[in-house]
Amino acid sequence: MKEKWWHNKVAYQIYPKSFNDSNGDGIGDIRGIIEKLDYLEELGIDLLWLSPIYCSPLADQGYDISDYYNIDPRFGTIEDLEELIAEGKKRKIGIVMDLVVNHCSDEHEWFKKACEDPDGPFGKFFYIKDYKDGDELPCNWRSYFGGPCWDFLPGHDDKVYLHVFHKKQPDLNWENPLLRKEIYKMINWWLDKGIAGFRIDAIINIKKKLPFSNYPADRGDGLSSINNMLKEASGIGEFLNEMADECFRKHDSFTVGEVFNEKDSELPLFIGDNGYFSTMFDFSTTFIDETDTATIEPVDNLAEKYKKAFFKSHKRVEGIGLLSNIIENHDEPRGVSRYIPKEDLTDKSKKMLAGLYFLMPGIPFIYQGQEIGMENLSGVKSLKELDDCANPDLYTRAVEDGLSEEDALKYIARWTRDNARTPFQWSDEKNAGFSEGEPWLMLNPNYKEINLAKQKDDSNSVFSFYKKLIALRKNPEYAEAIVYGEFEPYLAEQKNLMSFKRIDGKTVLIAANYQKEAQTVALDRPIKSVLLSNTEEINYDGESLRLNGYDFIVAELRNCS
Ligand code: GLC
Ligand code: CA
């Protein structure tokens, strides 16, 4: 693996609408981000990914873009963004924008022109098909937010268009070279502005299996999950390689793909030395709690499943490239609520989870609020309190699968993307210090207990632990081992022990007792020094470590002589 400038970086994701509101309209904005740059610098962040802030009707919270070249007035102006880029540079923080090019908004001028003249050049930017009421749709794919992925083309009762997400997100037709040219022009315009790169949204969806065809129905609605089509679609590499050549490689930019379903043989193409992307997210742990039917039961064997998934995906890319590691993002529940059993959720177990994913091979991403241990929403009483466009289908599915209304709400509370989207908890003051006005989405009621003000100067807080983790990654003594060191699972078969070594000249052992009962870890070499831990009490007798529940420890081991 060739060394690249982004390999040793720590990234942070901002969901702008919920980060910090500078003008009291209840919506976070770019000026609010600028105000917090010193905070991010203090934490040790190098790359800042902003979820979309382009002009948008916000049907899917900005992932429906109506103008790629402008900032939505709710978030600020292009000048604000330029200032953010410049202020970031002063602090060595690179700005990473969200690239949403599987689809745009139905309010984008391309789509408006397509509606005016479906047979004209802009009609070919989208997937538009003739359709007579009563006919079968061109295919039976279910949109990600529920319901068929075809809708009438506005103004035409004899045509439908494809949207694999919300109906306000028409899919762009990547088979059309003119569309691709427009996209590359836009990407380069942004890169020339001095951003560090892009997080690339839903990119696996740009290649469709054509001609459109049905797949076996997998729910009572007679529709089929898009995954069935994606498994069969081939040829995406040509698009991705072209995009990398036309844009990213020229700028040596950082890119992180939202990629699912890639095949082993494709890994070098995606994230190898000259891959389409710098890196892509490791979503392996987000599948361990997937179930065929909706349930509110806790996952059994959680710790073992977590460990196995994580280890496997990093072994898979070893020597090829780096994955980007997360415990949550704006589409997922809060990691601490998901990967730690409810009854064991404490600052200590939160730190353990943080330490594990941070020291695995790869680039760590922190999602806003994660660094103070923000948790899932509790006490949701009605769907009306929530916002996300994916909620109604989630609820329907839960009820279809036999959950009572009460349990269906619990199911929503567990899975809704709103869990991650509640405003950042800066303090225990009005609206958690997020806004002077009424926040656009409910606050997590626990903000009085969990907030930054309370943790900032407490050296034992979750926040301080994240700072220490970042400092450890950047400590020149250990950076080589942690960034490039070989990854060796250690005692992988020992139940609920998640332990591994990072080896590069030095040997760093990371060990976590992922359960509440104590357990012993036999060491194959003596400890030279303890680099970090989430406990004061280290029980080491020269040969083994006795770990209490959720103990986490990082230690340098002596090298064999
Ligand atoms: C990605 C985004 C998600 C969005 C979807 C459609 O998965 O992360 O928030 O809804 O793409 O753009
Ligand atoms: Ca605002």
DSSP codes joined into one string, 451-473: -HHHHTT-TTSHHHHHHHHHHHH
SS3 47: strand
Give the residue ranges of DSSP H helices in 26-161: 30-35, 37-43, 78-90, 109-116
Q: DSSP state, 314?
A: H
The residue whose C-alpha atom lies closest to atom 12 belonging to ligand 1 is 63
Rounded-to-integer distance, Cα 514 and Cα 364, Å: 20
Q: How far is the CA of 436 from the centre of ligand 2 (A)?
A: 10
Please tell me the number of the ligand nearest to residue 331's CA: 1
pLDDT digits (tens, 9 = 90+) for 493-523: 999 999 999 999 999 999 999 999 999 999 9
- Name residues contacting ligand 1 (CB within 6 A): 60, 63, 100, 165, 201-202, 258, 330-331
Please identify every residue whose CB atom is under 5 Å from ligand 2, which is an ion: 21, 23, 25, 27, 29
Report residue 558's pLDDT band, with 50, 70 and 90 as the boundaries: very high
Nearest Cα to Cα of residue 204 among 135, 276, 133 = 276
Is residue 102 very low, low, confident or very high in pLDDT (cuts 50, 70, 90)? very high
If you take atom 2 of ligand 1, which residue's CA is the nearest one?
A: 201
Residue whose Cα lies nearest atom 4 of ligand 1: it is 63
pLDDT value at 400 more than 80: yes
The C-alpha angle with vertex 14 and arms to 512 and 191, in degrees rounded to 5, equals 115
| 375-393: b (≥16 Cβ within 10 Å) or e | bbbeebeebeebbbbbbeb
pLDDT, mean of residues 170-177:
98
Percent of the chain exceeding pLDDT 70 equals 100
For ligand 1, atom 3, the nearest C-alpha belongs to 331
Q: What's the CA-to-centroid distance between 80 and ligand 2, angstroms?
A: 12
| Catalytic status, residue 258 | yes
Of 201, 328, 418, 556, the active-site residue reads 201
* Ligand 1 atom closest to 331 (CA): 9
Distance 461 CA to ligand 1 centre (A): 32
Residue 26 pLDDT greater than 70, yes or no:
yes
Q: Is the pLDDT of residue 529 over 90?
A: yes
* Span from the CA of 384 to the centroid of ligand 2 (angstroms): 23
Q: Does the pLDDT of residue 534 top 80, yes or no?
A: yes
In this structure, what are the phi and psi dihedrals at residue 116, rounded to the nearest 5 degrees?
A: -65, -40
Residue 560 confidence (pLDDT): 75
Q: How far is the CA of 433 from the centre of ligand 2 (A)?
A: 13
- pLDDT of residue 230 exceeding 80, the answer is yes
Residue 158 pLDDT exceeds 80: yes
Residue of 54, 56, 60 best suited for mutating to test ligand 1, as the one with most atoms within 8 Å of CB? 60
d(CA 213, CA 226): 11
- Is the pLDDT assigned to residue 105 strictly greater than 80? yes
What confidence score (pLDDT) does residue 561 get? 59
Counting atoms of ligand 1 from 1, which one is nearest the CA of 102?
A: 12
Average pLDDT (414-438) is 98
Which protein residue has the closest C-alpha to ligand 1 atom 6? 63
Q: What is the pLDDT of residues 311-331, one digit of tens each?
A: 999 999 999 999 999 999 999
Which pLDDT band, with edges at 50, 70 and 90, does 559 fall under?
Answer: confident
Query: According to the model, what pLDDT value does residue 133 have?
Result: 86
Of the listed ligands, the closest to the CA of 281 is 1
CA 75 – ligand 1 centroid, Å: 19
| Six-digit token string for 487 | 């990854």
Q: How far is the CA of 13 from the centre of ligand 1 (A)?
A: 14
Q: Cα separation of 423 and 26, whole Å?
A: 10
Q: For residue 390, which atom of ligand 1 is closest to its CA?
A: 10
Residue nearest to atom 9 of ligand 1 (CA): 331
Mean pLDDT of the chain: 97
Query: What CA–CA distance (Å, rounded) separates 304 from 524?
Result: 22
Report the nearest atom of ligand 1 relative to the CA of 145: 10
d(Cα 66, Cα 57) in Å, to the nearest integer?
7
Indicate which residue of 29, 46, 60, 258 is catalytic: 258
**What pTM was computed for the model?**
0.98
Ligand 1 atom nearest residue 417's Cα? 9
pLDDT at 198 over 90: yes
Q: Mean of the pLDDT values across residues 469-480?
A: 98
N-term to C-term CA, the chain: 28
Give the Cα separation of 300 and 63 in Å (integer): 34
Lowest-pLDDT range of 378-392, 434-448, 495-509: 378-392
Whether the per-residue pLDDT at 96 is higher than 80: the answer is yes
At position 84, the amino acid (one-letter code) is: L
pLDDT over 90 (residue 379):
no
